[in-house]
Amino acid sequence: MNKVFALTAVAAFLGLSACGDSTAQRAVIGGAIGCAAGEVLANGRCVEGAVVGAGVGVITE
């Protein structure tokens, strides 16, 4: 079950990685993806994943 959810999260990450026209949009999308990844891959660490995801969203162009 976790394996299927993890694969779905990875697919969503790859599908949404190019979304966002502005820095703020990329930060929000990165935060959402990071939260999902933190929940699945790091045993419920949504906040930490969101912080990392938002940071990556901000620095990527």
Helix orientation angle between 2-16 and 23-41, rounded to the nearest 10 degrees:
170
Q: How many domains does the chain have?
A: 1
Give the dihedral sign, CA 10/57/34/12: negative
Residue-wise burial string across 14-41, b where 16 or more C-beta atoms lie within 10 A, e elsewhere:
eeeeeebeeeeebbbbbbbbbbbbbbbe
Q: What confidence score (pLDDT) does residue 15 get?
A: 62
Q: What confidence score (pLDDT) does residue 44 get?
A: 84
In a domain, 14, yes or no: no
Q: What confidence score (pLDDT) does residue 36 get?
A: 87
pLDDT in tens, the chain (61 residues): 567 777 777 766 666 665 677 888 888 888 988 888 888 888 888 899 899 889 888 887 6
In a domain, 16, yes or no: no
In a domain, 32, yes or no: yes
Q: Which domain holds residue 36?
A: 2-9+21-59
Q: What confidence score (pLDDT) does residue 7 get?
A: 72
